[in-house]
Amino acid sequence: MDVKVSVVLLSYCHEKYIEAAIESIFRQETDFKYEIILADDFSRDRTRELLGDFTKSHPADYIFSFTDKNRGAKNNIYQAVKKCKGKYIAFLEGDDFWTDITKLQKQSDFLDANPQYSMVTHKCSQMNGDGIITEVIAQRFCPDIEVYKKEDLVTVSSVGHSSSIMLRNKGTDFTDFLRYLRKVKYCPGDCSIPMYMLQYGDIYILKENMSSYRYVVTDGGTNWSSKHNFYRDFLFFYMIAWQQEMVARKCHIKLDLFTHKCRYFTNGAKTMIRFRSVRQLVSCCAMFLFTFHRIKLLRFAIKDIRENKLALI
């Protein structure tokens, strides 16, 4: 039987959570064959050891994609997807897990029956480091729409969490895009991959809640949320918006996020003024230099600061 779905399990220093993640994959009930690509980006802890122990005690169709040194999340995805043989690809990060044992079946059935859609996602919940649910429906990743289109890229922040994605495998064209993404420093894969897939059709969002992602912020943490603070790293998020426009052009999509960039600049300016922050002064200077319409940027900032009286948003 041919492989229908390739499941990519992405891990980096996930020893506390990796067993729950792979167990949730192994429990999937399907009427088709699926493979599991174990993609570990040279974890410094016992993640690889635990993955090895699990595969020995739970026989399945595993493919190992272990890097020889830490090369970054985008390269990890690229190397893993190159090994995918399935008609569809699903993703799961090592600190998250699937909560519905029929997730793969439901999503693959949907894509089989609806060829006009390039990708399908679903609702998810949010949990903390101890696995306690903090949001039954994680609003940040669960937009209240059914169909995500190109025009939603400006107004809807997310089409779904990475743990909810299943997409059509576009073969070498997709891997070529992922190879290109390795050079894009700021824009993360969960922003870029939906833009790529929108070239081939809209994205459908199922109403079922079928996964849970872990939101943990710790000093020195290796996860994305620990490294990037939305209320402090304004330059970083400005660069994400700037590179989203660049990636969109690569995907033949016209995307204008100027208003988003104005908000990051304005919030950086507010923080700079209120706390006399040298860091935000440098960030604002960098954002100003990266902006083409600088007069419009300054007008936006001045108006917002006056109207909101320096209130941080």
**Per-residue pLDDT, 1:** 72
Per-residue pLDDT, averaged over 150-162, amounts to 96
The answer to whether residue 188 sits within a structural domain is yes
How many CB atoms neighbour CB 138 within 10 A?
23
- Show the 3-state SS of the chain: CCEEEEEEEEECCCCCCHHHHHHHHHCCCCCCEEEEEEEECCCCCCHHHHHHHHHHHCCCCEEEEECCCCCCHHHHHHHHHCCCCCCEEEEEECCCEECCCCHHHHHHHHHHHCCCEEEEEEEEEEECCCCCEEECCCHHHCCCCCEECCCHHHHCCCCCCHHHCEEECCCHHHHHHHHHHCCCCCCCHHHHHHHHHCCCCEEEEEEEEEEEEECCCCCCCCCHHHHCCCCCCHHHHHHHHHHHHHHHHHCCCCCCCHHHHHHHHHHHHHHHHHHCCHHHHHHHHHHHHHCCCHHHHHHHHHHHHHHHCCCCC
CATH number of the domain residue 66 falls in: 3.90.550.10
Do 245 and 209 fall into the same domain? no
**Per-residue pLDDT, 313:** 42
Q: pLDDT band at residue 236, thresholds of 50, 70 and 90?
A: very high
Do 200 and 259 fall into the same domain? no
Q: pLDDT band at residue 225, thresholds of 50, 70 and 90?
A: low
Domain final residue, candidates 158, 186, 216? 216
pLDDT in tens, 96-120: 999 999 999 999 999 999 999 999 9
**Per-residue pLDDT, 32:** 98
- Residue 181's domain comprises 3-216
Per-residue pLDDT, averaged over 154-170, amounts to 96
The answer to whether residue 223 sits within a structural domain is no
- pTM value is 0.92
Per-residue pLDDT, averaged over 190-206, amounts to 97
Do 96 and 16 fall into the same domain? yes
Q: How far apart are CA 121 and CA 167, in angstroms?
A: 9
Do 126 and 271 fall into the same domain? no
Domain final residue, candidates 216, 248, 279? 216
Do 96 and 165 fall into the same domain? yes
Do 77 and 43 fall into the same domain? yes
* Average pLDDT of the residues of the chain: 93
